[in-house]
Chains A and B, each alone.
Chain A
Amino acid sequence: MKEIVIISGKGGTGKTSLIASFAALAKGKVLVDCDVDAADLHLVLDPSVEDEGDFSGGKKARVLDKACIACGECLTACRFDAVSVPEASSESGIPVINPIFCEGCGVCFRVCPAEAIAFEPAVNGRWFVSKTRCGPLVHARLGIAEGNSGKLVSLLREKARTMAEEKGLPLILIDGSPGIGCPVIASITGSHHVLVVTEPTLSGRHDLFRVLELASHFRIPVSLCINKWDINPDMTEKIEKEAGNRSIPLAGRIRYDSAVTKAQIEGTTVVEYTDAPISGEIRSLWEKTVQNMGQ
């Protein structure tokens, strides 16, 4: 079983639109949306949820007002600026812990001399296993303002691997998130191939090289796609040449086409929406990516 991940560094280069089309083209796979804090793949795949559950990535602390003696130990012990005394409690001096800033370290709970802090597993999000017309989809919703996105990504990949094994499916297709941080690292580590999708802009180029460095840091084979290549053909050539100098195989160029947005509005994928040349380009991008992975 092989795992392919699409990432980009820069956001908005077209990861989700491309993987949705791959979903319509590829046979025998499980889809995973690992962009857990802005998951969009479900918007074009119309999933029906078959199994779901809570995700807990850590604990959170909470002050038990009745037991609190307002000694202030927790205020000084917290390194994450999560404990404060709100104006409404200025007389009692009883603090509150802001769950958004609580890192779940438990230091306040342990320093409290009055056992006035509860420290319990928190629900940080929800995972889903769904059926779609393009095959099974594993996705999630990370709670707003939650951390632990890396742990949630790992959980989704684990579920997808189990499902692929059970159903004998040879491929896992993973939609990653922008950036180079925790959720991206959790999406690519241990995968077989990374397809980096960039755009021919100065920002796209800048972010591409950071993400290529990340993939090479984790020793994962990469290939490159330039999306919307015709908005700046010179930049496209420049990026392809630079990638060539680093022996990064090219998987394809995709033109700019308003059909991408139109398909999204129709709630479908580009290759299902149109037979225009862009769909042919996406098809050969997919074939080339599979080829690159095999090498």
Chain B
Amino acid sequence: MQPMDFFAKPLKLTSDFTGNTMKALTITIASGKGGTGKTTFATNLASVIGKDRAVSLLDCDAEEPNCHLFLNPHIVSAEEVTIPIPEVLPEKCTACGICDEVCEYHAIIVIKDQVLVFPELCHSCGACLRFCPEGAIIERGKTIGRIERGNAAGIRFVHGFLNIGEIMTPAVIRRVQKEERDADIRIIDAPPGTSCPVIEAVKDADFVLLVTESTPFGLYDLKLAVDMVRQIGIPCAVAINRSTIGDDRVNAYCRQEDIPVLVEIPDDRKIAEAYSRGRLISEADREYENLFRNLWKSITGLVEKKRTDGSITENKRRS
């Protein structure tokens, strides 16, 4: 499938909320299936890169962030994540019903002369206040989560948490993504799946590493993830975790689709134990330190190659 032409270098660079452009090389670690090892790859990669270079790790799995359990960052600042929600000024409102008409999410409804707002349904599109003829709607921030910034052994660290019961995960991820845009290297840990939260975590990446396992579930969900990154038009490669537990079908699929498999990690009790205790395998074991160093070399090699053959344009696509 050809990448869509929306991602060909746009004329206009500043449609982002921030207006920032970005210089960082951004690598997102994603997977269709959950529990394949995204966090293991993100934290170990950041740790080995951090030994020689400045690196930032952004944990964008805002529903269940786990990178902090392995890096134990010293948190230096925190900020609430808010989304704008309409508030009706009763003294100006004439209950004309236009806000109700223009809201696609039924988040604001007018019954007789009463206007009711349902914040949990609101997507913060701004339609209601834009089209209110009386100027009777303003926006206030509703807290849906928080971000925290910190440092962990030379790694600059940011993660986002969605508050329990909230659903606007993409908004928290979008907020995390605004951080560390001036860094040299950004490693992003994405949520599982292929729907809207994942898109937010993947869309600014120069390169996506898809972590899978050699099982039928792993393969099926990998195919969905490959479709996703191809639709967005970002180059990707695959890492096979616990490669010895299943069969060879993941490798066969990658060969057929011409997707590089950069590393295969066997099912190793040492990794499972380190993981279960929140330790980094690349710190506990020299062999794995080398493995992650080599993986990083392979990634940068591929990114360099894709840059020269033109399939990665400057990462100013949508930022």
Contact = CB atoms under 8 A, between A and B. Distances in A.
Interface string B249-263: 000000000000000
B231 interface: yes
Contacts of B69: 202-203, 206
Contact of A87 (B11, B166, B167, B246): B11
A287 interface: no
Nearest to A14: B35
Given A107-B125, A146-B195, A210-B64, A85 B10 contact: yes
B104 A43 contact: no
Interface stretch (B108-116, B219-227, B288-296, B298-306): B219-227
Contacts of A36: 195
A103 B123 contact: yes
A149 B63 CA distance: 15
A42 B278 CA distance: 33
Nearest to A203: B66
Interface string A26-58: 000000000011101001100000000000001
Interface string A83-102: 11111101000001010110
A184 B63 CA distance: 11
A12 interface: yes
Contact of B246 (A81, A181, A265): A265
Main secondary structure of the interface of B (DSSP, over half): loop
Interface string A50-89: 0000000011000000000000000101111101111110
B22 to A, nearest CB: 14
Given A100-B231, A104-B104, A38 B194 contact: yes
A104 B232 CA distance: 18
A37 B127 contact: no
Contacts of B9: 87
Given A77-B130, A110-B102, A178-B191, 11 more contacts: A11-B192, A12-B34, A40-B33, A40-B221, A44-B216, A88-B5, A106-B104, A149-B195, A199-B276, A203-B66, A265-B246
A225 B302 CA distance: 42
9 contacts: A37-B194, A40-B217, A106-B127, A144-B224, A145-B196, A178-B193, A201-B275, A258-B245, A265-B247
Contacts of A232: 273, 276-277
Place the interface of chain B in its size category: 35 or more
B39 interface: yes
A36 to B, nearest CB: 8
B8 A87 contact: yes
Contacts of A3: none
A88 B8 contact: yes
A98 B216 contact: no
Contacts of A147: 195-196
Contacts of A11: 33-36, 64, 192
Given A106-B127, A261-B215, A181 B8 contact: no
Q: Shortest 8 CB-CB distances between A and B: which pairs?
A: A11-B34, A12-B35, A105-B125, A179-B63, A202-B278, A147-B196, A201-B276, A182-B167
